[in-house]
Amino acid sequence: MAIKTCLMIGGSGMAGGWINRLINEFSDRVKIIGLVDVQQGVLDQQAETLGLKKDQLFTDFNQACATVQADFCGVATPPPFHSPAAIAAMENGMPVICEKPIADTLEAALAMVRTSQETNLPCTIIQNYRYAGNKQELVRIREEGRLGRLQHVFGRYACDYRRPGSWGKAWRHDMDFSLLFEGSVHHFDMLRFLSGGDCETLTGFGWNPEWSSFKHFSSGYYLMKMDNGVHACYEGNSSAAGITNCWNSEHYRLEFEEGTVEIAGGNQIKIHRVGQETEIYEAPGIERSAHDYLFDEFINWLDGREPSDTQISDNIKSFIMVIAAMETTDDGQPKQMAEYLKDL
């Protein structure tokens, strides 16, 4: 297949990681031909790395989308800019691969979904935590019925971000509901993935301990009922001290009728059965993981193969769980997921 050209919106931070990945892992499939960033210094630095000329560098994504004729657009900016940038790209004929979360509001996320539907262009969201060997093995255990029927999924995320600015960027400590938008959006998607169902009902609450460096809730506890009868429970904590289950080490526990399976850090699977010794083994590896899997899957989609698993029409079902968690934290009322999608 021909090399795909890319307009990249974002040039540092997470976007810089995308650029490095595309250069190092996908140079035979992707070429960046345009770059957008609000910082001229970032543009100058990346222009040297990518071999871009001045007329390929932009500080305004609308101008870039109207000027650059690329095969697709990558969007890796802070969340408030995801939807407007992605919509501008799709309205100018470019499929989009976008960093999570879809957007910073429900309205912006739904607008992005509608634009993908109206333009009939591929749009996928980076939900990279599905693509690790241990998580894939949990799904196989469920799908193959090795331990019978699944009844309950538990997920725990806990990071020690008590020091101001310790979560990568200072804005994460200042924004409302950073736990949900920057962290739990991954974990809610994982609960859907591991349970094999979509959330029907969600309830719970959030809090912010006195020692927190966050201006808003840094911790939360949420309960969910999935549409296949499985129940799920989630504990999130960005102000943890002691036992942590931070990025790539989140604790997931699946309760089946014939045993319990759990994972945390590494690639180890633990299966517990009543009256038997715990079975421990390494999950099979996967050819590509995390971001690499998603980029590969998205490029394949552009080449006419199967759509991405995390295409926006599916990922909106994870995003509305974030909105529901935010709202139930505010008003204490259970939320029905169907209400959030009724206008699509």
For the four alpha carbons of 324, 150, 101 and 301, in that order, the dihedral sign comes to negative
Q: Using omega within 30 degrees of 0 as the cis cutoff, is the peptide bond preceding 101 cis?
A: yes
Find all residues with CB under 8 Å of 120, minimum gap 6, and list them: none
Domain 4-121, CATH among 3.40.50.620, 3.40.50.300, 3.40.50.720, 3.40.50.10610: 3.40.50.720
The pLDDT assigned to 344 comes to: 84
Distance CA 38, CA 86 (A): 16
At residue 170 the predicted structure's pLDDT band, cuts being 50, 70 and 90, is confident
| Better pLDDT: 163 or 93 | 93
The pLDDT assigned to 72 comes to: 98
Bridge partners, residue 155, by sequence: 234, 252
Supply the DSSP string of 265-328, one letter for each residue: STTEEEEE-TTSPPEEEEPPP-SS-HHHHHHHHHHHHHTTSPPPTTBHHHHHHHHHHHHHHHHH
Placement of tokens 């199967």 in the chain: 306
CB 34 within 8 A of CB 66: no
CB 101 within 8 A of CB 321: no
How confident is the model over 228-258, as pLDDT tens digits? Answer: 999 999 999 999 998 999 998 999 999 999 9
Q: What is the mean pLDDT of the chain?
A: 95
CB 199 within 8 A of CB 224: yes
Residue 261, SS3 per DSSP? strand
* Residue of 161, 207, 205, 213 whose CA lies nearest to 183: 161
CB 37 within 8 A of CB 12: yes
How confident is the model over 83-104, as pLDDT tens digits? Answer: 999 999 999 999 999 999 999 9
How confident is the model over 178-218, as pLDDT tens digits? Answer: 899 989 999 999 999 999 999 999 999 999 999 898 988 99
The pLDDT assigned to 149 comes to: 97
At residue 294 the predicted structure's pLDDT band, cuts being 50, 70 and 90, is very high
Distance CA 170, CA 175 (A): 9
At residue 171 the predicted structure's pLDDT band, cuts being 50, 70 and 90, is confident
The pLDDT assigned to 169 comes to: 75
CA distances (Å), origin 272, targets 145, 252, 305: 15, 14, 39
Say yes or no to pLDDT of 303 above 80. yes
The pLDDT assigned to 203 comes to: 98
Say yes or no to pLDDT of 289 above 90. no
Say yes or no to pLDDT of 268 above 90. yes
Question: Which amino acid is located at 255 in the chain?
Answer: E
The pLDDT assigned to 73 comes to: 98
DSSP code of 342? T
How confident is the model over 55-69, as pLDDT tens digits? Answer: 999 999 999 999 999
pTM (predicted TM-score): 0.94
How confident is the model over 103-162, as pLDDT tens digits? Answer: 999 999 999 999 999 999 999 999 999 999 999 999 999 999 999 999 999 999 999 999
Task: Please tell me the least confidently modeled range out of 96-110, 163-177, 229-243, 290-304.
Answer: 163-177
Stretch(es) of the chain classified as CATH 3.40.50.720 = 4-121
φ and ψ at 171, to 5 degrees?
Answer: -65, -25
Say yes or no to pLDDT of 4 above 90. yes
Say yes or no to pLDDT of 331 above 80. yes
Distance CA 162, CA 213 (A): 5
Q: Mean pLDDT across the stretch 212-227?
A: 94
Stretch(es) of the chain classified as CATH 3.30.360.10 = 130-287+320-339
Say yes or no to pLDDT of 265 above 90. no
Say yes or no to pLDDT of 262 above 90. yes
Say yes or no to pLDDT of 165 above 90. no
Class of domain 130-287+320-339: alpha beta
* Residue of 166, 179, 181, 189 whose CA lies nearest to 221: 179
DSSP code of 56? G
